[in-house]
Amino acid sequence: MLGVLRDGDGPRTGPELSPQPGLADVDALCEGVRAAGLEVVYRTAGDVDALDGGVQLTVYRIVQEALTNTLKHAGAGARAHLAIAVEDARLTIAVQDSGPLAPAARPGAANEEGHGLVGMRERAALYGGHVSAGPLGPGWTVRAALDLAPRGGAAG
């Protein structure tokens, strides 16, 4: 906090501050995951550029966790499809992977839930949304839905 309040005269000793990631950063995230060996097919639909910064950060973090889990559990050589869509006052995220090349390679029990899924659910809940995750065919799918309708209203 003190580093932010100081004037720019002396050398910075605190952390560098940078903007929070948003949807424009998802391409770079996908490139990083591709470099680690996971094939990612990414598409968007609707007016994603009009989303506010909070929603964009939430979407980015959910996608980041889902792709990290895919890389961790399905491994290099797997394929993931990522779709982000805005329709009316609803945003959906879908991440579906092909599963590991060797089916026995996916560690962890099917009903085992880590902190990543809990975090995704908490982020979605901030926007009146939900996250579901589970096996689909040989792979795994994560689906999230966020409510973009303005909340609040007149007190009365």
State which amino acid sits at residue 66: A
Which tokens hold the place of 120? 């995704």
Q: What is the pTM of this model?
A: 0.81
pLDDT in tens, the chain (156 residues): 334 444 455 555 556 677 899 999 999 999 999 999 999 999 999 999 899 999 999 999 999 999 999 999 999 899 999 999 999 999 999 999 999 876 554 444 444 556 789 999 999 999 999 999 999 999 999 999 999 997 765 444
Which tokens hold the place of 47? 């007016």
Distances in Å between the Cα of 119 and the Cα atoms of 4, 76, 130, 153, 154 are 29, 24, 11, 28, 31
Which tokens hold the place of 49? 């550029």
Angle (CA) 16 19 25, round 5°: 120
